[in-house]
Amino acid sequence: MTGFKVTQDAVSGAITGRREERPGPSAGRRTSARAFSGWRSELLRWAVPLLLLALWQLASSTGWLNARVLPAPLAVVTAFWELARSGDLWHHFTISLGRAGLGVLIGGGLGFLFGVLNGTVRPAFLLLDTSFQMLRTIPNLALIPLVILWFGIGENGKIFLIALATFFPIYLNTLHGVRSIDPRLTEMARVYGLSPFETFRRVTLPGALPGVLVGLRYALGISWLALVVSESFGASSGIGFLAMDAREFFRTDVIVLAILIYALIGKAADLIVAVLERRLLPWQVRA
């Protein structure tokens, strides 16, 4: 929480109603240089995946890589085009996206609420945290038989597993963020007569926000891992079902396509959180 501590004066200004001074016109002159540096950094991030893709295609074209073991990138692109043209890919993709999104919304929302509650109310922390830590160590695979008994093989069981998996990253990081807030800021809010809601809005939430976003980044990645597990039983649609069905017909190109979709969605989710961090945490230094 170092970045937050650096801005204690800014938070104090928010409590007292004072505004921070904004940078002068000289900051605008560096916009183009920063934009160029940003594009260069983004290209550097994609250098390794593009290099691996080129080596993969080269190994497939020269016969070093057996197509039964791993199909060529062009074969995966062909499979993508066929599934996209038939509409099957978008059908399975939207269903998986809806399951993951609803699971993150439920699990992440509860994780945030309990993280704030346990971080601010010590009796709640003593009562609930130990139970949460015990539940956190239970693998999702071990819960599948119970989930089938509780929810059947419908959508509720799949969403439950995703929500359970995404609850803990956001809960733990929110809890850590709230408990790491400088107590002097809370005391200052009390001195200025802020209500509990205003204290939460002006002190607790800004202080916990870095941790919440870290938890969200982990939760979005874990949601797709949980989705794979949840779509492994009783599913008739979704990217996981598409990969399982392709396995039955030895369609390794479709299996690799499903894996690449998971990877690209994970990257997209990471970029979304990065944008949120730049908007909500402008004081943090980034690479």
User: What pLDDT digit, counting tens, does each position of 93-120 carry?
Assistant: 999 889 999 999 999 999 999 999 999 8
Q: Give this prediction's pTM.
A: 0.75
Domain map (residue ranges) of the chain = 30-65, 71-280
Q: What is the mean pLDDT of the chain?
A: 80
Q: What pLDDT does 51 receive? A: 87
Average pLDDT over residues 237-253: 83
Q: Is the pLDDT of residue 1 over 50?
A: no
Q: Which residue has the higher pLDDT, 94 or 69?
A: 94
pLDDT band for position 26 (cuts 50, 70, 90) = low
Q: Which residue has the higher pLDDT, 63 or 127?
A: 127
- Spell out a b/e string for 71-100, using b for 16 or more CB atoms within 10 Å of the CB, else e: bbbebbeebbeebeeeeebeebbebbeebb
Q: Is the pLDDT of residue 2 over 50?
A: no
Q: Which residue has the higher pLDDT, 143 or 19?
A: 143
Q: Is the pLDDT of residue 19 over 70?
A: no
Average pLDDT over residues 37-41: 66
Q: What pLDDT does 166 receive? A: 93
Q: What pLDDT does 111 receive? A: 95
Q: What pLDDT does 34 receive? A: 58
* Cα–Cα distance for residue pair 133/118, rounded to 1 Å: 13
Average pLDDT over residues 144-161: 86
Q: Is the pLDDT of residue 69 over 80?
A: no
The third-level CATH classification (topology) of the domain covering 71-280 is MetI-like fold (1.10.3720)
Q: Which residue has the higher pLDDT, 287 or 193?
A: 193
Average pLDDT over residues 7-24: 48
pLDDT band for position 169 (cuts 50, 70, 90) = very high
Q: Which residue has the higher pLDDT, 134 or 60?
A: 134
Average pLDDT over residues 251-273: 86
pLDDT band for position 18 (cuts 50, 70, 90) = very low
Q: Is the pLDDT of residue 210 over 80?
A: yes
Q: Which residue has the higher pLDDT, 239 or 111?
A: 111
Q: Which residue has the higher pLDDT, 146 or 37?
A: 146
